[in-house]
Amino acid sequence: MLKKSRVKFKSQEIIPFPNTKMMRNLLCVHVSVSGNELCLMTSHLESTRGHAEERMNQLKMVLKKMQEAPESATVIFAGDTNLRDQEVTKCGGLPNNILDVWEFLGKPKHCQYTWDTQMNSNLGIAASCKLRFDRIFFRAAAEGSHIIPRSLDLLGLEKLDCGRFPSDHWGLLCNLDVIL
C-alpha cells in the first residue's frame, strides 16, 4: 500500500509506437516517493506470434526509454509484453543495468507463467499453452537504489461471481522495499 501524501506527481508522457497495428503506446509517469525519484512505465506490446517483429521493435523502444530516464531515477516497467524468451535474446537481451525482476528474484516457479490456457479458461483455447507474457523490468538509480524488488506473486487466480477470471492473463504483484 502507498499513501497518496508520500507520492508527488511530476510529469507524464504517452509515446506512440510508430508502426503498431494495434494502437499500442508506452506510458511514462515521473513521480517522487518519499524523496526517491521514480519513472514508472507500462505498455501492452503487440500481440500474437505473427507480430513478433513489431513487438521486438517495441521492446527496443521501451529499453531505450528506460536508459534515457534520468540517472537519479529508479525506472520500473511493468506490462503485458507478449514476449517469448527467444525474442528478448534476438534483441540482444536486456542491457546490463536493467533487470528482469522475475529472474532477479531467482525465477520463482509459482509466478513463472502469466498466460496459462490450461488453468485460465477465459479464451476457451483447447491447446495447453504456458508463457511468461507479463514482465517487470527494473533499473536502479545510479547513486545506489533505495528501492529494491523483494517478492513477486500472481493475482487474479480466482474466478469472479460471473464465473470468469478478471483477465486471460494472471496479474503480477511485485513488492518493493523503499528505504527511507
For the chain, the structural domain boundaries read: 4-178
The residues facing 38 across adjacent strands are 31, 74
Cell of 167: 483477465
| Separation CA 84–CA 95 (nearest Å) | 17
Cβ distance 30 to 38 under 8 Å?
yes
- Work out whether strand 134-139 and strand 74-80 pair parallel, antiparallel, or are unpaired: antiparallel
Cβ distance 94 to 63 under 8 Å?
yes
Of the chain, the end-to-end C-alpha distance in Å amounts to: 15
pLDDT of residue 135 exceeding 80, the answer is yes
Work out the pLDDT band at 144, boundaries 50, 70, 90.
Answer: low
Residues recognised as catalytic: 80
Query: Rounded mean pLDDT of 78-85?
Result: 98
Cell of 54: 513489431
| Separation CA 133–CA 65 (nearest Å) | 20
The distance from CA 72 to its chain's CA centroid, rounded to whole angstroms, is 21
pTM of the model: 0.94
pLDDT of residue 2: 59
- Which residue matches cell numbers 526517491? 36
Check the CA dihedral 165-167-172-173 and report its sign: negative
Query: Rounded mean pLDDT of 56-77?
Result: 98
Cβ distance 59 to 92 under 8 Å?
no
pLDDT of residue 177: 92
Which CATH architecture fits 4-178? Answer: 4-Layer Sandwich (3.60)
pLDDT of residue 34: 80
